[in-house]
Amino acid sequence: RLSAHQFGDGTNGCTSAGPHFNPRNKTHGGPDDETRHHGDLGNITAGSDGVAKIDLRDKLVSVVGVDSVVGRTIVVHAKQDDQGKA
């Protein structure tokens, strides 16, 4: 899964990166859900070589203003995201 985290700090892995980027205080969801964190970018799949190729287009994330992911940590997690459905 791919997620944007609050802080641009990778000194202690995901712990120092903080929670999912969530500037509008929404609940966890999938990338196509109406209500979701800005950091909920969805699941990705890597090939046997460990490479994941993605084309990311997102209606919430921006590179300017309060919704900007610039300076934040983008994390590739090993496990699949439940996208708020569990």
Specify the pLDDT at position 84: 86
Tell me, yes or no, if the pTM score tops 0.75.
Answer: yes
Domain extent, residue 48, equals 1-85
Asked if residue 86 has pLDDT above 90, the reply is no
Specify the pLDDT at position 14: 84
CATH number for the domain including 59? Answer: 2.60.40.200
What is the C-alpha to C-alpha distance for residues 73 and 26, in angstroms, rounded to an integer? 19
3-state class percentages of the chain: helix first, strand second, coil last, to nearest 5: 5, 15, 80
What is the C-alpha to C-alpha distance for residues 17 and 81, in angstroms, rounded to an integer? 18
Domain count of the chain? 1
Asked if residue 85 has pLDDT above 90, the reply is no
